[in-house]
Amino acid sequence: MAITLAEAKVGMADKVDQQIIDMFRRSSLLLDKLIFDDAISPGTGGSTLAYGYVQLKTPSTAGVRQIGNEYTPGEAKREKKTTQAIIMGGSFKVDRVIAETSGGVDELAFQAEQKIKATANYFHNAAINGTSASSGAGYVTDTFDGLKKLLTGTSSAFTTTLDVSTSALTDSNYNAVLDVLDDFLKEFSEKPDMLLMNSKMLAKIRACARRAGYYNRSADGFGRTVEDYDGIILCDAGKYYNGSQSVDVIPVAANGTSPVYGVKIALNAFHGISPTGSKIISTRMPDLSAPGAVKEGDVELVAGVALKDTTKAGMLDGIKIQAAAG
């Protein structure tokens, strides 16, 4: 069964749970738009929340033949894959005196909202950089395979050499950037729904599209400004806090380049996975009237991602958006 966070909210009777869902949706355009296959059951998947699927790696081909000759054989290639949902989130503690005297700033609501933002950012990081096993620097290990691992080394990974690191270079190269972007999008078997990138790349693509007269933006139901290129959402993958500082989920390489990831969101393309029964998100807010001076609450997101067709996702790298380091 396919479900979105908006649909999951409808089945919730508790108003607090509904508000938590909306907080996740406001915190993450990706989570808001993503479709989840809520098919994972611990009874069948075990304690690892495993999800098995078949990935189409190479589509079939068609051609012509002459009379008396056979077709050149060409088979579609697919591969059995396994991914998993992971349990993300965290807890927070608030002294009841602070909670009861916080005035205009509801301390419990503030802590819950900040935990939700952190969890959404962690999901973004895993969805791009995740790997189920250690694969070297730059990966979020012991999560699930994200787009970086799923696409690196495949025919859906493309590289270019264009420089828009300055305003002058953007003036010179904006048409070339849009041409490369269009060529990249044509390689998808279906038009993608979203392009994921960091804020610096988004600013450059916005600048190129604006110079060419193709820049579009609109407000969504949460009042957010949603930008698009040819009807494809431009999504800032954001930053995550690594324990000491906030860093880009999609970093800029030492040479000043950064990748763009494109995805078609559908159950036969790129989608989320979650436990059965719409149990994607859960929260526990403390009862201030219960005994105990320090109250504890927590927020949890149980989810992962799957890519069932590599022709419906892609990675474009090589656009230089800032000067090389050093």
Q: What is the pLDDT of residue 255?
A: 96
Residue 160 CA, distance from chain mean position: 23
Selection from 157, 186, 161, 119 nearest residue 260 by Cα = 157
Give dist(CA 233, CA 231) in Å, integer: 6
Give dist(CA 239, CA 230) in Å, integer: 26
166: tokens are 């300055």
Q: Tell me, letter by letter, the H, E, C secondary structure of 129-161.
A: HECCCCCCCCCECCCCCCHHHHHCCCCCEEEEE
Q: Is the pLDDT of residue 45 over 50?
A: no
**Is residue 314 within 8 Å of 269, Cβ to Cβ?**
no
DSSP state of 323: P
Query: Beta strand 157-163 with 313-320: parallel, antiparallel or unpaired?
Result: parallel
The pTM of the full predicted model, rounded to 2 decimals, is 0.89
Selection from 216, 301, 262, 245 nearest residue 36 by Cα = 301
**DSSP-derived 3-state class of residue 308:** coil
Q: What is the pLDDT of residue 71?
A: 74
Least confident of 54-58, 83-87, 111-115, 313-317: 54-58
Class level of CATH domain 2-57+80-320: alpha beta
**DSSP-derived 3-state class of residue 257:** strand
Read off the pLDDT of residues 178-230 as tens digits, 9 standing for 90 and up.
999 999 999 999 999 999 999 999 999 999 999 998 889 999 988 889 999 99
Q: Is the pLDDT of residue 135 over 80?
A: no
Read off the pLDDT of residues 2-37 as tens digits, 9 standing for 90 and up.
899 999 888 676 777 888 899 999 999 999 999 999
Least confident of 67-71, 256-260, 300-304: 67-71
Task: Write down the mean pLDDT value for the chain.
Answer: 89
Conformation bin of residue 318: beta by default, left when phi > 0, alpha when psi is -120 to 50: left
51: tokens are 């999800």
Give dist(CA 212, CA 269) in Å, integer: 31
Least confident of 161-170, 275-284, 296-305: 275-284
Q: What is the pLDDT of residue 35?
A: 96
Give dist(CA 157, CA 165) in Å, integer: 22
**DSSP-derived 3-state class of residue 295:** strand
